[in-house]
């Protein structure tokens, strides 16, 4: 998934309103923030394989440290522990940890069976990406619902809160909708570059959150 992960962050904000949306976005996409770093280091591997599924040109051959269920739970526990170390309430820590783990759950729904349960273990995936219309419907409904929840609960305080939010929604939606119809990336380095650019999303979300308040 892509916008589905942002939906988790937007929805989680309702449960822990004192936690920055930036932290929640970072948690929800944490596996995808770690993944390009491991690709760059040569620890994990991806192939450009047009037609691998209807929705993506990529074959995720080896990513056990960023995307196995076991390591995802480790990453989630580490994120929760970090929240506690920073003096956050236990509820906030639990929600952040669950946001990390939600990434694997949503990826399980969309990926073909390429997600390891543990490093070197069995592979899982329900394969929603085999259907472009079904992916748009399922993930789109999740995203639209979460956006509306966040918008109503945390109205904009000023123009930045309004238009930075609109910009984030427009940009993420454009990436998501255009993905299956775009040409394959020219190489793995381009994938790494795009993945590293995702580190900007938590910063963008934190900026938005500072300009929106509780209803």
Query: Please, which contacts does 203-207 make with residues 24 or more away whose CB atoms are closer than 8 Å?
Result: 203/22, 204/22, 204/164, 204/168, 205/9, 205/20, 205/21, 205/22, 205/24, 205/25, 205/168, 206/20, 206/21, 206/22, 206/23, 207/22, 207/160, 207/164
- Tell me which residue of 135, 128, 92 sits closest to 108, measured CA to CA: 128
Burial class (CB in 10 A: 0-12, 13-18, 19+), 51: exposed
**Confidence at residue 215, expressed as pLDDT on a 0 to 100 scale:** 79
Write down the pTM of the prediction.
0.96
Has residue 162 got a pLDDT over 90?
yes
Please state, rounded to an integer, the average pLDDT across all residues of the chain.
Answer: 97
Kindly report the three-state secondary structure assignment for every residue of the chain. Answer: CCHHHHHHHHHHHHHCCCCCHHHHHHHHCHHHHHHHHHHHHCCCEEEECCCCCCCCCEEEEECHHHHCHHHHHHHHHHHHHHHHHCCCCHHHHHHHHHHHHHHHHHHHHHCCCCEECCCCCCEECCCHHHCHHHHHHHHHHHHHHHHHHHHHHCCECCHHHHHHHHHHHHHHHHHHHHHHHCCCCCCHHHHHHHHHHCCHHHHHHHHHHCCECCC
Amino acid 165: pLDDT: 98
| Mean pLDDT for the stretch of residues 173-197 | 96
214 pLDDT band, cuts 50/70/90, is: confident
At residue 176, does pLDDT exceed 90?
yes
pLDDT of residue 124: 98
Q: What's the pLDDT tens digit per position in 77-135?
A: 999 999 999 999 999 999 999 999 999 999 999 999 999 999 999 999 999 999 999 99
Q: What is the pLDDT of residue 194?
A: 96
So what's the pLDDT on residue 159?
97
Mean pLDDT, to the nearest integer, of 56-79?
A: 98
Tokens of 160: 């930045």
For residues 49-74, average pLDDT: 97
């Amino acid at each position: 998934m892509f916008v589905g992960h942002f939906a988790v962050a937007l929805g989680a904000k309702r449960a822990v309103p004192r936690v920055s949306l930036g932290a929640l976005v970072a948690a929800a996409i944490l596996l995808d923030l770690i993944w390009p770093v491991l690709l760059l280091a040569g620890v994990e591997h991806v192939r450009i394989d047009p037609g691998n599924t209807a929705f993506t040109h990529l074959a995720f051959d080896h990513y056990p440290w960023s995307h196995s269920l076991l390591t995802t739970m480790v990453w989630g526990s580490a994120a929760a522990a970090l929240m506690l170390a920073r003096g956050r309430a236990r509820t906030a820590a639990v929600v952040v940890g669950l946001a990390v783990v939600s990434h694997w759950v949503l990826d399980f729904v969309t990926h073909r069976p390429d997600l390891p349960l543990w490093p070197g273990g069995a592979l899982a995936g329900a394969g929603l990406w085999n259907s472009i219309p079904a992916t748009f419907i399922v993930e789109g409904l999740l995203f639209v619902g979460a956006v509306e929840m966040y918008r109503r609960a945390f109205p904009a305080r000023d123009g930045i809160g309004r238009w930075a939010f609109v910009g984030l929604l427009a940009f993420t939606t454009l990436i998501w909708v255009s993905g299956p119809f775009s040409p394959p990336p020219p190489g793995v380095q381009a994938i790494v570059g795009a993945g590293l650019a995702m580190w900007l999303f938590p910063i963008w979300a934190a900026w938005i959150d500072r300009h929106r308040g509780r209803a």
